[in-house]
Amino acid sequence: MARTLFGTDGIRGVAGAPPLDANTANAVGSALGKWILAQGKTPRVVIGMDTRESGGWLAAEVAGGLARHDVQFEFAGITTTPGIAYLARTGDFSAGVMISASHNPYQDNGIKIIDHSGYKLRDEVEEQLEADIFGALGRSEGSSPAELIINEHLDQVYIDHLASTVSKRFEGLTIALDCANGSASALAPPLFERLGARLLLHGCRPDGKNINLGCGSLHLDSLRETVLSSGADLGIAFDGDADRALFVAQSGKIVDGDAVMLVCARRLHEQGKLADREGRPVVIATVMSNIGLQRALSAQGIEMVRTPVGDKYVLEEMLRRGAMLGGEQSGHVIFREYATTGDGMLTALRVLDVMTSSGKTLQELTGDLEIYPQLLVNVRVKQRRPLGELAAVQEEISRAEQAFGDRGRVVVRFSGTEPLARVMVEGPDLTSVRDYADRIASQIRTELGAE
């Protein structure tokens, strides 16, 4: 059965409009409660949200739906998506619910459900929940928001866990920290100060509407300027729900998820902690990761395995192989020793741990990574016909692949959360990369009725 509510990252939409209206949010809670009871699991759920102004009432509706089935809930208040995943798998909970739309603007929101092991729900479970959600809506059960009282202890449990992963304190380091006016705003500053760092704060004053607004991991210019003008040792930027992190080196160089994976893979390899189930050192990345990362890892004797885009697919391959490190260029990095999902604050701690233990700057740690020119073009589309059926698009892709040979790649895919086709072209020089990317994007606009 095809899912119509759940996308690649839960249920997403404009807050207040279906499927993110009060009635549907309540029906989601009701369906989840019904499923929990049917599984014979502990009738208790942990709920959190990011800083969007719609988060409170959406969380209250989900909680109200749970209460219809006498399923208890604990409300963490503003927290991170990986924080909810950690609490769900380590606390006495059968599931976790995060109200967030990650890097999207404040008008959007989402409902992400995490199971008691800290993982996203399986497809078949989401299909079952969808059937129950539509059933509840058909019965017009309506809205019944619950009263929410924040349990501040929950965030502290998560922060204590993160702090415990660090081997050396950060005294003497100055960090420019951009929390995207999102989930990390209340958690990251006290965590890094607790570990001894001096902080220069950006994007740490959420007002319900400014999440991701000109700040965070999608807007690094201001953070970069601060690092350069202040002489900070590095800059760290999170996204709205803090499940990813990007960095700015002291030189102003942007350090993305590919570079982070190289830095951390090398360290884990030295420690003998990078091997998969068969004893082979391996890193799981996606089709978007740069060829430069693959070559740098290979030079260290480390295999890189590619998956489709999405931390879901990275995690699936990690679990299948027993791999310990995987991630995406966008900054989602999974350290399976500590977490079941990408965690921006954990990623920052791992990078800082390598810096302090090696005595090297982030610039030095990433200096040997040769990045091939890569261009990503987003094309807004009105329809999603299978890309393989678009002859003119496929012809342009083939032309680019033949020109690049083994020195470049083309990846064209639809976004899992937005009405976009994403065209990624990578090659030996920026001029040819831009030329082929523009040609492919133009054909997509023609074929798919771009707005």
Beta bridge partners of 424: 376, 411
For residue 32, the tally of other CB atoms under 10 A from its CB is 26
Contact 67, 75 (CB under 8 A): no
Q: Which two tokens stand for residue 399?
A: 């032309």
For residue 122, the tally of other CB atoms under 10 A from its CB is 10
Pairing mode of beta strands 325-327, 72-78: unpaired
Of all helices (H) and strands (E), which one includes residue 395?
A: helix 391-404
- Our answer to whether residue 102 is catalytic in this structure is yes
Q: Which two tokens stand for residue 265?
A: 């893979």
Contact 26, 12 (CB under 8 A): no
Contact 447, 392 (CB under 8 A): yes
User: Residue 373 carries which DSSP code?
Assistant: P
Cβ neighbours of residue 351 under 8 Å, at least 6 residues apart? 247, 260, 263, 264, 362
CA–CA dist 45, 127 (Å, integer): 20
Catalytic residue selected from 100, 102, 289, 330: 102
Catalytic residue numbers?
102
